[in-house]
């Protein structure tokens, strides 16, 4: 194990050298400092790296205002990092593995020492950076990643995450499917850990509860074009769509042209896509659809996601900010020009609806600042180390710093937005355990997302649906609950008590008939019996036996189809 670590370490170091040379020869990717450095004050400027995606499969730059709001608070609050001014430098990860690594090395090779990394903008970009940041003694706090793959303390030693692990969403899918009793499902999966690991959890649960499923996997590079033999199965009506929004848009387009949609078909997809995500650009040229056409396919579908922070607009967080105030700040921050290269408004079309992850990035920035505050205090009080060391020395050698940081990060506990506690499990992952379920409903000519249910992960599979989300009042399904395409098997059963009564009487009758037959057989030579024509008696006795047997076979309860089939045939003869 130790050998393996060393090997990986030296591999990463050589990779760094290669990438560093390469990075330095190219134009610098955008590297923005916020808040602007103030040369006239006597505060020490310290920096953390921020990585979000400006493009690619998942665009998370909308989280930026959340970070800025947190920084404005941290720098104006004298009790946090006294004597310091905290800044970020921002780079783009493009939600792409190689771009994220390049971006990280740009951060590391830029002039300021980075005391932490917030990012990297989506799970695909976070996985490689979390694997590498530890070798540079950089603690990482992510706020836009939730892949279950990241829940692994051995692989990601200095990694913390403000979102619950994605495998919780599997619970959302599972509970929707079982709530409606759907027995046949098709899973369409993008081949990235973010989706495959979650779907593995779901598949296990489906198999355990006897739900049939088929799955189709496509590679990110190929898109859903890469699915040979068509996407839709002839006899499947319920589709779980596990992919990034750009591919989901292509999927909707394909579904539209093949007539897949409510009421005959139903899609279940991820709830964390951006607002009005179906209006965005297609991923492949082959899927040319208008937003209206995609809406047709999307209408009435369901989407679970981990519950967002805004559950109580008036409860304050650790900084005294309520969710309502935060939303207000967010709208102002979006209007702010960071610089002319990046116009946030072009990335955040609907600024009245704060970007889902911005709240978590807000909390991530606070998490990092609190741990930094404690670490710097600690180092100040320690005679061998001092804060000048922290900010000036290369962190690769500074294991004291990172060990303290990780200890304090692990021990994080403060009130986040809506008063929800920010705390991590032993793998550094935040526990949320509550999911919201959304439905895309029609509002005249437009679809909109309505919150229709809450799923509590730990509460023994109970679903607390808001009205009218139930089979009895299917208000959310104008044409009824979609059918899974499995032929309906009607099982009519007689109550146990009645079955017992029938069987007891029939058995008594049966016994009496048998006794009568034997009686006739034994005393057949008696005159009286001969007078009553014994042959006819046998026939009557036999008829009675058949009738009583018929009663028994009819009332025997069974759910075993083979046995039922045998019984069915036997009954024909009796």
Ligand X SMILES: *[C@@H]1O[C@H](CO)[C@@H](O)[C@H](O)[C@H]1NC(C)=O
Residues 521-550 that bind ligand X (CB under 6 A): none
- 322 bridge partner residues: 316
Rounded CA gap, 187 and 267, in Å? 10
Q: Is residue 373 close enough to count as binding ligand X by CB under 6 A? A: yes
Q: Is residue 219 close enough to count as binding ligand X by CB under 6 A? A: no
Question: Which residue number, 228 or 444, has a Cβ lying nearer to ligand X?
Answer: 444
List the strands of the sheet with 212-218, edge to edge: 212-218, 184-190, 238-242, 266-269, 302-306, 434-443, 446-456, 463-465
Least distance to ligand X, CB of residue 218, Å: 12
Token pair of 413 as six digits: 């506990």
Least distance to ligand X, CB of residue 51, Å: 14
Least distance to ligand X, CB of residue 553, Å: 57
Question: Which residue number, 98 or 399, has a Cβ lying nearer to ligand X?
Answer: 98
Rounded CA gap, 164 and 142, in Å? 11
Least distance to ligand X, CB of residue 203, Å: 25
Least distance to ligand X, CB of residue 93, Å: 10
Secondary structure of residue 361 in the 3-state scheme: helix
Q: Is residue 377 close enough to count as binding ligand X by CB under 6 A? A: yes
Q: Is residue 171 close enough to count as binding ligand X by CB under 6 A? A: no
Question: Which residue number, 41 or 341, has a Cβ lying nearer to ligand X?
Answer: 41
Could you give the dihedral angle defined by the CA atoms of residues 178, 184, 186 and 192, in that order, rounded to the nearest 10 degrees? Answer: 40
Secondary structure of residue 374 in the 3-state scheme: helix
Q: Is residue 38 close enough to count as binding ligand X by CB under 6 A? A: yes
- 421 bridge partner residues: 415
* Choice from 146, 220, 321, 359 touching ligand X (CB under 6 A): 220
Token pair of 529 as six digits: 């019996």
Least distance to ligand X, CB of residue 383, Å: 6
Rounded CA gap, 122 and 244, in Å? 10
Question: Which residue number, 75 or 520, has a Cβ lying nearer to ligand X?
Answer: 75
Secondary structure of residue 436 in the 3-state scheme: strand
Least distance to ligand X, CB of residue 283, Å: 10
Q: Cβ atoms within 10 A of the Cβ of 501, count?
A: 13
Question: Which residue number, 126 or 220, has a Cβ lying nearer to ligand X?
Answer: 220
Question: Which residue number, 146 or 220, has a Cβ lying nearer to ligand X?
Answer: 220
Q: Is residue 40 close enough to count as binding ligand X by CB under 6 A? A: yes
* Choice from 41, 111, 341, 490 touching ligand X (CB under 6 A): 41
Question: Which residue number, 10 or 98, has a Cβ lying nearer to ligand X?
Answer: 98
Least distance to ligand X, CB of residue 124, Å: 8
Residue in the shown chain whose Cβ atom is closest to ligand X:
315
Q: Is residue 79 close enough to count as binding ligand X by CB under 6 A? A: yes
Rounded CA gap, 108 and 104, in Å? 6
From first CA to last CA, the distance across the chain in angstroms is 72
Question: Which residue number, 445 or 460, has a Cβ lying nearer to ligand X?
Answer: 445
Q: Which residues of 171-206 are buried (b: 16+ CB within 10 A; e: fewer)?
A: bbbbbbbbbbebbbbbbbbbebbbbbbbbebbbebb
Rounded CA gap, 332 and 244, in Å? 29
What mask of x and - would describe binding to ligand X in positions 82 to 121, judged by CB under 6 A?
x-------------x-xx----------------------
Residues 439-478 that bind ligand X (CB under 6 A): 443-444, 448
Rounded CA gap, 356 and 245, in Å? 14
Q: Is residue 389 close enough to count as binding ligand X by CB under 6 A? A: yes
Residue 205 has, within 13 A of its CA and on its CB side, a CA count of: 20
Q: Is residue 12 close enough to count as binding ligand X by CB under 6 A? A: no
Secondary structure of residue 121 in the 3-state scheme: coil
Q: Is residue 370 close enough to count as binding ligand X by CB under 6 A? A: yes
How many residues touch ligand X (CB under 6 A)? Answer: 30
Q: Which stretch binds ligand X (CB under 6 A): 141-149, 150-158, 185-193, 371-379?
A: 371-379
List CB contacts of 338: < 8 A, sequence separation 6 or more: 32, 34, 64, 344
Omega of the bond prior to 263 within 30 degrees of 0, cis?
yes
Dihedrals φ, ψ of 479, to 5°? -110, 30
* Choice from 21, 286, 386, 558 touching ligand X (CB under 6 A): 386
- 160 bridge partner residues: 141
Q: Is residue 80 close enough to count as binding ligand X by CB under 6 A? A: yes
Question: Which residue number, 61 or 99, has a Cβ lying nearer to ligand X?
Answer: 99
Least distance to ligand X, CB of residue 446, Å: 7
Q: Which stretch binds ligand X (CB under 6 A): 76-84, 244-252, 474-482, 514-522?
A: 76-84
What mask of x and - would describe binding to ligand X in positions 304 to 333, judged by CB under 6 A?
--------x-xx------------------
Burial class (CB in 10 A: 0-12, 13-18, 19+), 317: buried
Q: Is residue 413 close enough to count as binding ligand X by CB under 6 A? A: yes
What mask of x and - would describe binding to ligand X in positions 55 to 74, judged by CB under 6 A?
-x------------------
Question: Which residue number, 82 or 557, has a Cβ lying nearer to ligand X?
Answer: 82
**What does R_g of the chain's alpha carbons equal in angstroms?**
33
Q: Which stretch binds ligand X (CB under 6 A): 75-83, 200-208, 469-477, 517-525?
A: 75-83
Q: Is residue 411 close enough to count as binding ligand X by CB under 6 A? A: yes
Q: Are strands 212-218 and 184-190 parallel, antiparallel or unpaired?
A: parallel
Rounded CA gap, 310 and 359, in Å? 9
Burial class (CB in 10 A: 0-12, 13-18, 19+), 235: exposed
Least distance to ligand X, CB of residue 451, Å: 10
Token pair of 420 as six digits: 């929800």
CA distances from 42 to 47, 375, 407, 495 (A): 16, 21, 30, 84
Contact set with ligand X (CB under 6 A):
38, 40-41, 56, 79-80, 82, 96, 98-99, 220-221, 312, 314-315, 370, 373-374, 377, 383, 386, 388-389, 407, 411, 413, 419, 443-444, 448
């Amino acid at each position: 194990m130790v050998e393996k670590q060393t090997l990986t370490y030296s591999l990463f170091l050589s990779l760094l050298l290669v990438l560093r040379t390469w990075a330095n020869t190219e134009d610098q990717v955008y590297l923005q400092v916020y808040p602007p450095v103030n040369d006239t004050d006597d505060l020490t400027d310290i920096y953390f790296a921020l990585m979000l995606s400006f493009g690619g499969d998942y665009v998370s730059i909308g989280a930026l205002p959340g970070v800025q709001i947190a920084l404005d608070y941290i720098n104006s609050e004298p009790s946090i990092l006294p004597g310091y001014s905290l800044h970020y430098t921002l780079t783009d990860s493009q939600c792409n593995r190689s771009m994220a690594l390049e971006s990280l090395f740009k951060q590391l090779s830029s002039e300021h020492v980075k005391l932490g990394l917030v990012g990297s903008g989506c799970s695909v970009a976070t996985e490689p950076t979390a694997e590498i940041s530890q070798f540079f003694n950089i603690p990482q706090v992510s706020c836009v990643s939730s892949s279950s793959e990241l829940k692994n303390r051995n692989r990601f030693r200095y990694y913390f995450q403000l979102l619950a692990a994605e495998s919780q969403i599997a619970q959302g899918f599972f509970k929707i499917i079982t709530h409606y009793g759907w027995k046949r499902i098709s899973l369409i999966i993008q081949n990235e850990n973010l989706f495959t690991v979650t779907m593995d959890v779901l598949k296990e649960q489906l198999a355990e509860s006897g739900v049939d499923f088929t799955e189709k996997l496509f590679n990110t590079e190929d898109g859903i074009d890469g699915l040979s033999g068509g996407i839709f199965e002839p006899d499947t009506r319920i589709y779980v769509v596990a992919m990034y929004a750009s591919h989901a848009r292509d999927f909707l387009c394909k579904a539209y042209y093949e007539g897949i949609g409510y009421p005959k078909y139903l899609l279940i997809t991820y709830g964390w896509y951006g607002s009005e995500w179906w209006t965005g650009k297609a991923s492949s040229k082959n899927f040319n659809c208008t937003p209206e056409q995609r809406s047709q396919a999307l209408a009435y579908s369901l989407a679970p996601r981990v519950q967002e922070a805004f559950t109580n607009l008036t409860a304050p967080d650790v900084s005294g900010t309520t969710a309502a105030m935060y939303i207000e700040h967010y709208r102002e921050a979006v209007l702010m020009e960071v610089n002319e290269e990046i116009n946030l408004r072009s990335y955040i079309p609907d600024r009245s609806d704060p970007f889902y992850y911005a709240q978590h990035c807000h909390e991530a920035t606070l998490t990092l600042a609190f741990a930094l505050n404690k670490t710097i205090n600690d180092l100040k009080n320690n005679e061998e180390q001092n804060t000048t060391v922290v900010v000036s020395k290369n962190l690769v050698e500074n294991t004291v710093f990172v060990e303290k940081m990780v200890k304090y990060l692990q021990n994080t506990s403060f009130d986040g937005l809506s008063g929800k506690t920010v705390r991590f499990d032993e793998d550094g992952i935040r526990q949320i355990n509550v999911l919201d379920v959304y439905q895309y409903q029609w509002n005249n000519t437009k679809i909109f997302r309505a919150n229709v249910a809450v799923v509590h992960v730990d509460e023994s599979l109970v679903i607390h649906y808001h009205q009218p989300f139930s089979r009895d009042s299917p208000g959310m399904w104008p044409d009824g609950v979609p059918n899974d395409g499995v032929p309906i098997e009607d099982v009519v059963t007689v109550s146990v008590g009645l079955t017992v009564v029938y069987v007891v009487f029939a058995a008594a009758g049966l016994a009496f008939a048998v006794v009568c037959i034997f009686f006739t057989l034994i005393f057949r030579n008696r005159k009286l019996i001969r007078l009553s024509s014994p042959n006819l008696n046998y026939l009557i006795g036999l008829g009675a036996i058949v009738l009583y047997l018929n009663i028994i076979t009819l009332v025997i309860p069974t759910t075993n189809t083979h046995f039922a089939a045998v019984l069915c045939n036997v009954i024909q003869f009796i």
